[in-house]
Amino acid sequence: MQKIEQLIKEKARDLLAAEQVTRVIAWQKGEMFYDNAPAYFSKAEELDGLVYNAFCAANLSKYLIANTKKDEKTAVFLKPCDTYSLNQLIKDRRVQREQVLVIGIPCAGMVDINKVKAQGLKGIICITENGEDLKVTTAYGTKEVARAEVLLNKCLACKGSAYAVSDETIGEPVEVKHATYDRFDEVKELESLSPQARFAFWQQELSKCIRCNACRDICPACSCEQCLFDNPDSPVAGKANNNNAEEQLFHIIRAYHVAGRCTDCGECSRVCPQGIRLDLLNRKFIKDINEFYGAYQAGADADTNPPLLTFDVDDIEPGTATKGRE
């Protein structure tokens, strides 16, 4: 990806120099080499800190919400999967399309540093890309690791190399070879359990929540100007759990709020410091919507209304929807 990184820097530098945009949204070096973070660049000299590599997983689309309210144009570099989130934000009227220059960039899948460490590697100094493999340099030597074995969970169900929206693109599309499983397989496994077992699973998962709000803050579909959970008059506004009901309701209510608009970008699970499988909760909603109303991919375009915002006389009845799902 070093070549793509250089092309991104050159493009950003040209756009700022020509004053075509006021700022560029991309990624900057983090404190650790695997901790790259979203960043705004408004001057050419700042671009030395811009990076693009296997650890640029953050979905940049949400950072456009505040910026497009200004009377200035912003350029953003988006991976193929991230363009779905931008389309959904445009559809939700949270981003002004005319204020954004969308530049699509290829992606071979982002790496999960925790999966790398799980390979038994300690004292990791750096990781370099070598085709389908990664060269991991540690304080004790080097080791080759197959990229497909250490990808983020969200990348295993990659949407492909096509962009849902873009004004320009950089580089050639990358063939996706690592999307190896059905994203609903784990949901089906949960559905096969007894109600008691399913409840126990989610009770265990959600009990780990520390109410840091990272999932909400990163989620492109969570874009309300004032969140219900920040309302001081609400009994659920606390940052720490008071009881089991609160910790469960926080995630269940949030899942309902984004239902039909969640693009399955997987950011909620990626940033969760407790490793809660929030992606499974969202995928359950997506699976049910597909089964009840027909296949639908949120963010595939910026015009089609989602199933939960439309009505048809042939829509499934609530009683039918719950039959056999007790």
- pLDDT of 323 above 80: no
Q: What is the pLDDT of residues 225-246, one digit of tens each?
A: 888 888 777 666 655 555 566 6
Q: Identify whether the C-beta of residue 138 lies closer than 8 Å to the C-beta of residue 177.
A: no
HSE-up (13 A, CA, CB side) for residue 201: 16
pLDDT digits (tens, 9 = 90+) for 63-102: 999 877 778 899 999 999 999 999 999 999 999 999 999 9
Q: Does position 324 have pLDDT exceeding 60, yes or no?
A: no
Give, in order, the Cα–Cα distances in Å from 303 to each of 66, 97, 136. 22, 12, 44
- pLDDT at position 185 over 90: yes
Q: What is the pTM of this model?
A: 0.91
**132-146, pLDDT tens digit by residue?**
889 999 999 999 999
How many CB atoms are located within 10 Å of the residue 18 CB? 8
Q: How many CB atoms lie within 10 A of CB 216?
A: 21
298 with 84: CB under 8 angstroms? Answer: yes
Comparing 216 with 246, the larger pLDDT belongs to: 216
pLDDT of residue 106: 95
pLDDT at 132: 84
